[in-house]
Amino acid sequence: MSGWVCPICGLDYDTVNRVDAVVALRSFPRRYGEVLHAVAEETGGDQRLRTRPEPAKWSAVEYTAHVGDIFQELAGAVRAMMREDQPVVESDFDPDRAAVEGDYASRTVDRVLSDLDAGAAAVVDAVDGISEDDWARTGTFSFGQRDVLAIVRNAVHEGSHHLRDVGDVIAAVER
């Protein structure tokens, strides 16, 4: 996905190198935790973290749960790409269905942060110690062929983009 810049959050995939990606992934649990814990400690904070600003937007807790799940999905894709040469990586992951089936809205802050930590660690573990050549290994997805670096950049994008969403929904709920 060379040359892609998210029109909403501004993340430029080409600016995310392998080292920065791993650093960013390791930082997300702390960064989300700082935001969620700060609000949770306020009077009524837990309710604000669970409130959707509008029916079609998730709450801060739901966005955080989603990021943990998507990190696990992307880690699985990277592991498949490391096990097989040019695998077809199929996924029936539907974020909205996962939110309902996983009951994201009722999860505790500690649970979503623990799941986020596990998901981030899974992506980092999937690429830990791989060779420079392995970052170029490819897989075929429903959206086209991607290499390991593109999938890890996507994980960084998910974490960055939804951290922004978490801040936005908290601000909207507080208004």
Q: What is the pLDDT of residue 3?
A: 84
Q: Shortest CA distance to 64 belongs to which of 173, 158, 172, 174? A: 158
Residue given tokens 């810049």 in the structure block? 5
Cα 137 from Cα 33, distance rounded (Å): 33
Tokens 């790409």 identify what position?
A: 81
**Confidence (pLDDT) at 175:** 82
Identity (one letter) of the amino acid at 155?
A
Domain 13-174 listed as CATH 3.40.50.300: no
In the chain, alpha helices (H): 18-40, 45-50, 60-83, 95-101, 109-127, 148-174
Distance CA 132, CA 130 (A): 7
So where are the chain's domains?
13-174
The whole-number pLDDT of residue 61 equals: 98
Residue 1: the pLDDT is 64
pLDDT (tens place) for every residue of the chain, 175 residues total = 678 999 999 999 999 999 999 999 999 999 999 999 999 999 999 999 999 999 999 999 999 999 999 999 999 999 999 999 999 999 889 999 999 999 999 999 999 999 999 999 999 999 999 999 999 999 999 999 999 999 999 999 999 999 999 999 999 998 8
